[in-house]
């Protein structure tokens, strides 16, 4: 009698004379184990065969007769499937390799009853998902614990490095509990000094519960490729949160000192960089600038016309095209647009001037915008 087979739920199955049994309960004295047939309660068979064993699984007696014949092949198939699941958890191999390795030296009668390749792939996937199932969702950010297995990155067997690079712990901002988690490869510290041109953006679509956004940081390397270097979970969009995030990054990568950072037009993130890295050139994304303009069009009920009127759409883009002009050319460009724009676009023009170029005063100076655009030095198309 051998105990090396597991059920779909991971419970032990006991093999005796070609039948498989699942543990039911102990007797009153807790000296015997009561086992029931694996098909007990099944819709098709509903077998009531039972056995009693000692605590060491030594067979004592059989209760009731099985309603189906014994099958040594069925037992061997279950052994192979259990072996496949265990190997899927222990080894980082593809389903095809796992299947080929597990089926070595398996007798032909057993092979004929094994799941096909597609079913094997599903078995492997389910085993891996079950093994790597996330912990229960905490009620609040203070209760969140990162399991040790989630704190490390395993590129291959025996090649592991830290993945959770920084945890701010719980702190308070605007009366709310906040927390920052930074994930990335610890080995990136070796080329942090070469992270000269950096790109950053946040997304809210994929942010997990308890967090407000996922903030991705990428860097150009060898002036050819762009690699993601850090993923940050943020519970807030405040300037204080962004400032703390950049401080944590500099703590884990002391030589991190980019010359330029390209990001969207969120003033909280822009101001955090201005304060923490005044030497860093801030470049904003054309995509986000156009998106902001479209949001403003929607506010004034002009989005439908933008989609259907090509002349209106072209003149709308005239406004955002000023982002590529040097500062010295902004004044004549604004004057030209004021003369030629459709009257309906004047509110959009006023919004753009107020936020991105500054309005020209009678003394020749400009009001200070939230972000002064300066041609290609300020706007990129990443």
pLDDT digits (tens, 9 = 90+) for 306-337: 999 999 999 999 998 888 887 778 888 888 99
Burial of 295 (0-12, 13-18, 19+ CB in 10 A): exposed
Q: CA 264, CA 224: separation in Å to the nearest integer?
A: 22
Helix pair 267-276, 239-252: axis angle to 10 deg: 50
pLDDT band at residue 191 using 50, 70 and 90 as cut-offs: very high
User: Between these two residues, 288 and 305, which has the higher pLDDT value?
Assistant: 305
What is the 8-class DSSP label of residue 44? Answer: S
Asked if 37 and 48 touch (Cβ cutoff 8 Å), the reply is: yes
What is the Cα–Cα distance from 32 to 229, expressed in whole angstroms? 58
| pLDDT exceeds cutoff 60 at 116 | yes
Average pLDDT value for residue range 147-163: 83
Tokens of 121: 């792939």
Q: What is the Cα–Cα distance from 113 to 109, expressed in whole angstroms?
A: 7
d(CA 339, CA 187): 56
What mean pLDDT do residues 241-247 have?
Answer: 95
Long-range contacts of 36-41 (CB under 8 A, 24+ apart): 37/66, 38/7, 38/13, 39/68
**147-164 burial string, b = 16+ CB within 10 Å, else e?**
eeeeeebeeeeeeeeebb
Q: What is the pTM of this model?
A: 0.60
Q: What pLDDT does residue 382 have?
A: 42
Q: How high is the pLDDT of residue 375?
A: 47
Please give the Cα distance from 175 to 154 (Å, whole number). Answer: 38
**Tokens encoding 213:** 């956004």
- pLDDT tens-digit readout, 30-56: 889 999 998 888 878 889 889 899 998
Check pLDDT > 90 for residue 217: yes
- Kindly give, in sequence order, each residue whose CB lies less than 8 Å from that of residue 266, ignoring residues fewer than 6 positions away: 202, 237
Alpha helices in 19-116 (DSSP H): 72-90, 95-102, 108-111
Q: CATH number of 151-279: 1.10.10, 3.30.420, 3.60.21, 1.10.3470?
A: 3.30.420
Alpha-carbon distance of 29 to 8, in angstroms, equals: 30
Q: Are 215 and 200 in contact (CB under 8 A)?
A: yes
* DSSP strand pairing (379-380 vs 281-285): parallel
Q: Report the chain's mean pLDDT, rounded to a whole number.
A: 85
Q: What does the angle CA 284 – CA 288 – CA 294 come to, to the nearest 5 degrees?
A: 140
Looking at residues 148-161, what average pLDDT do you find? 81
> Which tokens belong to 18?
């070609």
In this structure, the number of other CB atoms found within 10 A of the CB of residue 71 comes to 13
Q: Which residue has the tokens 């390209």?
A: 262
Mean pLDDT of all residues in 256-283: 87
**Which regions of the chain carry the CATH code 3.30.420?**
151-279
Q: What is the mean pLDDT of residues 79-84?
A: 84
In whole angstroms, give the CA distance from residue 68 to residue 72.
Answer: 13
pLDDT greater than 50 at residue 3: no
Q: Are strands 159-162 and 152-156 parallel, antiparallel or unpaired?
A: antiparallel
DSSP 197: E
In eight-state DSSP terms, residue 112 is: T
Q: What is the DSSP letter of 259?
A: S
Q: How confident is the model at residue 348 (pLDDT cuts 50, 70, 90)?
A: very high
């Amino acid at each position: 009698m051998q105990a090396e087979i597991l059920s779909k739920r991971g419970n032990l199955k006991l093999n005796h004379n070609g039948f498989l049994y699942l543990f039911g309960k102990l007797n009153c004295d807790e000296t015997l184990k009561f086992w029931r047939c694996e098909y007990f309660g099944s819709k098709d068979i509903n077998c009531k065969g039972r056995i009693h064993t000692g605590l060491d699984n030594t067979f004592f007696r059989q209760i009731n007769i099985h309603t189906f014949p014994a099958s040594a092949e069925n037992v061997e198939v279950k052994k192979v499937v259990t072996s496949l699941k265990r190997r899927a958890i222990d080894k980082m191999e593809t389903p095809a390799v796992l299947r080929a390795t597990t089926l070595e030296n398996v007798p032909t009668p057993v092979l004929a009853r094994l799941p096909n390749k597609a079913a094997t792939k599903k078995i492997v996937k389910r085993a891996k998902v079950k093994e790597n199932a996330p912990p229960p969702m905490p009620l609040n950010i203070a209760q969140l614990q990162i399991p040790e297995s989630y704190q490390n990155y395993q590129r291959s067997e025996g090649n592991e490095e830290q993945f959770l690079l920084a945890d701010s712990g719980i702190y308070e901002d605007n009366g709310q509990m906040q927390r920052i988690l930074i994930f990335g490869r610890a080995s990136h510290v070796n080329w942090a000094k070469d992270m000269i041109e950096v790109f950053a953006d946040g997304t809210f679509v994929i942010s997990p519960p308890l967090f407000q956004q996922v903030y991705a940081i990428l860097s150009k390397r060898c002036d050819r490729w762009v690699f993601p270097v850090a993923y940050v979970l943020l519970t807030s969009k405040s300037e204080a949160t962004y400032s703390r995030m950049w401080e944590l990054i500099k703590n884990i990568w002391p030589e991190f000192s980019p010359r330029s950072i390209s990001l969207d037009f969120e003033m909280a993130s822009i101001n955090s960089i201005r304060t923490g890295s005044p030497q860093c050139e801030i470049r904003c994304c054309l995509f986000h600038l156009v998106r902001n303009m479209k949001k403003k069009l929607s506010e004034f009920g002009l989005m439908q016309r933008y989609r259907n009127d090509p002349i209106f759409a072209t003149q709308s883009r005239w406004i955002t095209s000023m982002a590529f002009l040097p500062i010295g050319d902004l004044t004549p460009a604004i004057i030209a647009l004021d003369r030629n724009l459709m009257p309906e676009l004047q509110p959009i023009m006023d919004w753009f001037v107020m936020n991105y170029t500054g309005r020209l005063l009678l003394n020749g100076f400009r009001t200070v915008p939230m972000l002064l655009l300066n041609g290609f030095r300020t706007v990129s198309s990443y």
